[in-house]
Structure 1
Amino acid sequence: MPKSAKISDQEVKVDRRRDDRRAKTQADGTEFKPPRRKQQRRRQIDPTTCERDYNGDEILFMQALDAYKRSSGRMFPTCSEILEVVRGLGYVKLSEEEQELIASIAAVESDLAAATDGLDDDEAELEAAYGESSL
């Protein structure tokens, strides 16, 4: 450098590609490398749902919703999209008349089941007494 050049006119170059810029040494002189972070893998099991046993309809709904999420690429479907999945499973909203009819049918079936419970016991007693069923 010529002596006539001022310090403010000199160009300063900083090499930022040096390897030792981030390297740190431990007390024993060896190089310290921070532990690598493990990548978070997406779990296939929802931790909020693994605490209880689900019936078949609930499992079918969860599988259908999961399939919809995968096919659409939307991990957080809207209420209308969930309704599409439910309708795709075959569920429909019943009218008030249909709901009343189903309720009356259920009441008749429960009455019939209560009435036939005693018959099953009588049939078992007859089989025990006579050997084979006479019915």
Structure 2
Amino acid sequence: MIPIPDSKLWIGNASDARNLQEIRKLDIRAVFLLAYEEPIFNYPRDLTVIRLPLLDGGENDFFNLDIAVRSLISLIRNDIQTLVTCSMGMSRSPVIISAALAKHHSQPFDEVLSSVCRSMPSDVSPGFYQYVRSVFDQLI
């Protein structure tokens, strides 16, 4: 799990999403699951879990993308320590985190994405990036 600077957001992969010991240690209160292909894990009641399975390409439904960004912005606004995960933690997670932070702080999406990706290993899917970039102004 990698902290996103100047936020209460953490980024991780599917394995991190199931690491309850580390989630507790970091005082994470919400787990945000973006991986379509990962199995559902049974979480304890006291963790907020949001699962919006997205594909790592351009074939996502706008509604799911919009809900993902809106939900993450709500967690940011409420100062909730949140882990955002996808399969490898290198494409969907940094893109959705960047979209939410950019909207929340009224900053350019590309600048925020560059900043987020500098703080971690990343391999952003060109198709997913292009899709989010093309609809970014329509989000929330």
Shorter-chain TM-score range: under 0.3
Bigger share in helix: 1
Tell me the TM-score normalized by structure 1: 0.21
In our comparison, the structure showing a higher alpha carbon Rg is 1
Higher RCO, Cα 8 Å, sep 6+ = 2
Tell me the TM-score normalized by structure 2: 0.21
